[in-house]
A and B are shown apart, each in its own frame.
Chain A
Amino acid sequence: MAAAALLRRIPAARAPATAFMAARPISDSTAALTIKTSVPFTSHLVDPPSRDVTTTPAELVTFFRDMSLMRRMEIAADSLYKAKLIRGFCHLYDGQEAVAVGMEAAITRSDSIITAYRDHCTYLARGGDLVSAFSELMGREAGCSRGKGGSMHFYKKDANFYGGHGIVGAQVPLGCGLAFAQKYKKEDTATFALYGDGAANQGQLFEALNISALWKLPAILVCENNHYGMGTAEWRAAKSPDYYKRGDYVPGLKVDGMDVLAVKQACKFAKDHAVANGPIVLEMDTYRYHGHSMSDPGSTYRTRDEISGVRQERDPIERVRKLLFTHDLATAAELKDMEKEIRKQVDDAIAKAKESSMPDTSELFTNVYKKGFGVESFGPDRKELRASLP
């Protein structure tokens, strides 16, 4: 076919890394493409969206690239942690990339996202860059939170990414507060408040959902159900594992969280619903390959067969790779090259992040308070109360 011949015409010279990001013949096509999701949506109190997802070849290639970048970043973080360059807690997202990427594809940067501590990839999806991410992980001053937050505290205000929270479930009321502000300011945007299957049992979620439903806030509660709350399987923690039904009077949708197109469809549906009708619950059926964090081997409460089984059958990146092959959008060689470029990108970012210095000691006391009315003070046991009245 002429189209296929067009697609197979590959530039002879390998383009440099910067030009790689520019258009290539295969990634340029914005012709609409409709693909069916792998499994149907299950819904609660609402009519589910169609299984037919509209996308474009360009978008699919972007999905592949973004998810591969995230995967590579997380694997690199694993190595850095083992090399003791990243300390403390490090929660890796590999396996769950489809949720971050699919959500981003369905919304704009004016919508807000807030999540818990497994936030590296969400930061990237919201436009964060690799150098800031790695610097933050290594506690350098070039980090996105100036090295003062760490793995669990990534934020990007200009992209409406509100973090990055360590206490399980506490981010959901914050998210409903963001939705409240959106309604208050009459923006036609929504807030996606992500939490895990473990956090789904927190009381404050139900409190916040009740208030959101009462006040009709554009809040979307997204349960990233990776089936394990640290070491506790969902059936041991939740009497009802149907997290999408937990809203009771609030509608819900269960989505295959390893299928980026299903995630995109569900998020688009949820945003339209939330802005018009108030809160909705999404349950993303997903899986994490790593343990809960780097301190957890991840194999004491589940079998290695289970992990490798999911990797073989449901891996989000492999799924998109298959789609790209099936629809003749890329060849294996091209995708391999893309992955090599990504690997180099990540390695370069790590090298650059390693060069960044540790924060200066004076940074200990910055950002405790924001200057406003009153003094610049260091607390009651400092020698000097520096009063610079505005």
Chain B
Amino acid sequence: MAAAASSALHAVGAVASAKPRSAAPAVARRRSVRVAAAAKGGPGSSGRGRLVTRSAVAAKADEAAAAAGSKSGGHELLMFEALREALIEEMNLDPTVCVMGEDVGHYGGSYKVTKGLAEMFGDLRVLDTPIAENSFTGMGVGAAMKGLRPVVEGMNMGFLLLAYNQISNNCGMLHYTSGGQFKIPIVIRGPGGVGRQLGAEHSQRLESYFQSIPGLQMVACSTPYNAKGLMKAAIRSENPVVLFEHVLLYNLKEKIPDEEYICCLEEAEMVRPGEHVTILTYSRMRYHVMQAAKTLVNKGYDPEVIDIRSLKPFDLHTIGNSIKKTHRVLIVEECMRTGGIGASLRSAIIDNFWDYLDAPIMCLSSQDVPTPYAATLEDATVVQPAQIVAAVEQICQ
């Protein structure tokens, strides 16, 4: 089974490197077929028997290729609505899914992700917690040990630092230390990242802090399409998943399919195929990269942009195929330079794809400073499109 799957995947890889431009649809087709066949009998889909299409690929950022494949035309919504749709669908499908967090119930969620859910599902399934991150995250883990599937919201990801012990020791490690007896199918989600002058403590990027925790999976959503797909996949996953949303992306609008779909938690998304340089990014920086890409195309460059989406584990398959093609890598992230996701990714690429590199890997990260309040300083803290353009020009010399 594993051999067959890996050989099938090698075939996919071969297709990808042989004909890069047309790789995307072939990949999507091949994966959808395999996944659809398994989805009928696979874990998490028992008793449903429905075909759940899975596409890891959005061919272009400004064209909803996924929705183009949708039979009934799709519907347009904002990112926070996409997350809400995912929650509602999963809570309807599975009675053990519940949501807990501060102001998620009666208030409707500070970013409206859970608006209306309390009225739909009641106070026992949409729980307003007191301001006690350490304990309600722990309670979510305990509930997960006993068979529920809680979705724990940190009103801002930064607040979850108070729950770090619960997330690290109990959430991440219990499956291992109990010798496999307990699974913790919890989803921990919330907005993070640098916003609009929110101040240092409300502009944190926790993905760099959580990345070492064994047993945890981390994903970052960046479009309404992948937000809904990743949320659904995270809820259905048997592993604890941390879903990183971004404060500034909640009002992004996109057309998404009407049919049910799921995004694979461990797959990266090809945003823009290209030939000259591989740009790896995630979350909000994807948009800075795509803005820079416009400038780069005008200057004659052809960047390949990949939204890595899966922060732990990295999708080294997609990333590797890209590096084998372009031989140059630029990582653009919002984490701080020290110990960020980019640092780990760079390390992983060097370990695995050193022979394919024609230039040193460049990593553009946020500065190692607390995020200042002043607008100009805040802009200087994060990576801006102009810096991305300059970096690509430097790499492609």
Taking beta carbons and an 8 Å cutoff, which residues of A are in contact with B?
Answer: 112, 114, 143-150, 153, 155-157, 162-167, 170, 172-185, 203-204, 207-208, 210-211, 214-215, 366-381, 383, 385-390
Quote the shortest CB–CB distance from B268 to chain A (angstroms). Answer: 11
- Alpha-carbon gap, A162 to B143, bound state (A): 11
For A148, list chain B residues within 8 Å (CB). Answer: 176-177, 179
- Alpha-carbon gap, A293 to B142, bound state (A): 26
- Alpha-carbon gap, A173 to B317, bound state (A): 39
Quote the shortest CB–CB distance from A81 to chain B (angstroms). Answer: 20
For A385, list chain B residues within 8 Å (CB). Answer: 313-317
Quote the shortest CB–CB distance from B315 to chain A (angstroms). Answer: 7
For B180, list chain A residues within 8 Å (CB). Answer: 146, 366-367, 370
**Cβ-defined contact, A374 with B170, below 8 A:** no
For B135, list chain A residues within 8 Å (CB). Answer: 172-173, 176, 204, 207-208, 211
Number of interface residues of B (CB under 8 A): 75
Question: Does B47 sit at the interface, judged by CB under 8 A?
Answer: no
Given contacts A208-B138, A388-B6, contact A170 B266 (CB under 8 A): no
- Alpha-carbon gap, A352 to B38, bound state (A): 43
Question: Does B175 sit at the interface, judged by CB under 8 A?
Answer: yes
Taking beta carbons and an 8 Å cutoff, which residues of B are in contact with A?
Answer: 1-2, 5-6, 9, 31, 34-35, 38-39, 42-44, 96, 98, 124-125, 127, 129-130, 132, 134-148, 165-166, 169-170, 174-183, 185, 214-215, 217, 233, 236-239, 262, 264-266, 312-317, 344-345, 347-348, 351-352
**Cβ-defined contact, A377 with B181, below 8 A:** no
Please give me the residue from chain B that is nearest to A144 by CB atom: B179
For B169, list chain A residues within 8 Å (CB). Answer: 165-167, 170
**Cβ-defined contact, B148 with A174, below 8 A:** no
Given contacts A157-B178, A390-B38, contact A177 B134 (CB under 8 A): no
Interface-centre pick from B125, B176, B185, B317 (highest chain A CB count, 10 A): B176
The 4 A-B pairs of least Cβ separation, nearest first, read: A177-B142, A173-B138, A372-B238, A177-B139
**Cβ-defined contact, A210 with B132, below 8 A:** yes
Please give me the residue from chain A that is nearest to B150 by CB atom: A177
Given contacts A368-B215, A380-B344, contact A204 B138 (CB under 8 A): yes
Q: Which secondary structure dominates chain A's binding surface?
A: loop
For B182, list chain A residues within 8 Å (CB). Answer: 155, 157, 162
- Alpha-carbon gap, A157 to B236, bound state (A): 21
- Cβ-defined partner of B132 (8 Å) among A153, A211, A379: A211
- Alpha-carbon gap, A175 to B125, bound state (A): 18
Given contacts A372-B239, A373-B44, contact A381 B139 (CB under 8 A): no
For A182, list chain B residues within 8 Å (CB). Answer: 146
Please give me the residue from chain A that is nearest to B1 by CB atom: A388
- List 16 A–B pairs whose Cβ atoms lie within 8 Å, in order of A's numbering: A147-B179, A155-B179, A156-B181, A164-B177, A173-B141, A185-B147, A367-B180, A370-B239, A372-B239, A373-B44, A374-B265, A378-B313, A379-B312, A388-B5, A389-B31, A390-B43
Interface-centre pick from A146, A166, A388 (highest chain B CB count, 10 A): A388
**Cβ-defined contact, B6 with A155, below 8 A:** no
Given contacts A367-B179, A385-B317, A388-B5, 9 further A-B contacts (CB under 8 A): A112-B146, A178-B145, A180-B139, A181-B142, A204-B132, A207-B130, A208-B139, A373-B236, A377-B313
**Cβ-defined contact, A181 with B236, below 8 A:** no
For B239, list chain A residues within 8 Å (CB). Answer: 369-370, 372
